Amino acid sequence: MSDTTRVALVTGASGGIGRAVAQRLAADGMAVAVHYAGNKAAADETVAAIEEAHGRAIAVTGDVADEAAMAEAFDAVERAFGGIDVVVHTAGVMLLGPVVEFDLDALDRMHRTNIRGTFVVAQQAARRVRGGGAVVTFSTSVTRLAFPGYAAYAAGKGAVEAMTLVLARELRGRDITVNAVAPGPTATPLFLEGKDQEAVDRLAAQSPLERLGTPDDIAEAVAFLAGPGRWVNGQVVFANGGIA
């Protein structure tokens, strides 16, 4: 690997949007660490797909909300590739339900992953990402769309947006950009689960482009922020086809 090769760590990269992001960054010439929480086989599939396309990748694991586990994951990336230039944090949990009956234990579990997990990964990124690098977190367009049933999830993503914008300013002088991507309805297994075709069609029709987003659509936005988009900093980029 050339000393000029950029290195990316993508959390939650064993499937869905995370996998698309990992593969896209690898296609852009980065060496990629594919992070997973529990599904090693799926992460290995992502690594294999990158290697088959003549890219360079490894798999790393760890609970994103566990600071020791994530420190070891970052250590593993640095041992393998010599440093870290880009951190993309896609890992998250989505539990839905109305406020009036939402289970508070479920709220705590989701916020542990989505809020604390983002903070832990951002903290490691702030300590380790090299100058010229980028940090990309994940919010959701539901923070603006306010779909019923999404209050607990959107609340956590609002916290992600807040910490992302603050971190961008805290890294002043280090030539590191920090942004959040906020996808709209995107055709992933997580999103489609439990929805009938009528519900899917209704959501697809909301965009002026009249379709759901794809993981590749979201990966395009991340690739811009992780690569040429150096003058975009401290922003929430809504990748939703024009819904909001």
Catalytically active residues, by annotation: 153
Q: Give the Å distances, CA to CA, from 149 to 99, 108, 142, 157.
A: 7, 16, 10, 14
The 3-state secondary structure of 142-176, one letter per residue: HHHHCCCCCHHHHHHHHHHHHHHHHHHHHCCCCCC
Using CA atoms of 184, 189, 190, 195 in order, give the dihedral in degrees to the nearest 10: 80
CA–CA gap between residue 130 and residue 143 (Å, rounded) = 31
